[in-house]
Amino acid sequence: MSDIDEKAIFGTELSSRARLFSQCANYMVQGAVWGGAVFFGTLIVVWVLVQVGKILPEDSKNMPDPINRGAIEVPLEEVRAV
28 versus 78: the higher-pLDDT residue is 28
Residue 47 and residue 49: Cα distance in Å, rounded? 5
Q: Percentage helix, strand, coil, to 5, in the chain?
A: 65, 0, 35
User: What local confidence, expressed as pLDDT, does residue 33 receive?
Assistant: 98
Number of residues assigned to the chain = 82
Question: How confident is the model at residue 50, as a pLDDT?
Answer: 94
pLDDT (average), residues 29-53:
97
From 19, 18, 17, select the one nearest 5 (Cα to Cα).
19
User: What's the pTM?
Assistant: 0.56
Per-residue pLDDT reduced to its tens digit, 42-81: 999 999 999 998 998 888 778 776 776 666 666 667 666 6
Q: Is 2 in contact with 23 (CB distance < 8 Å)?
A: yes
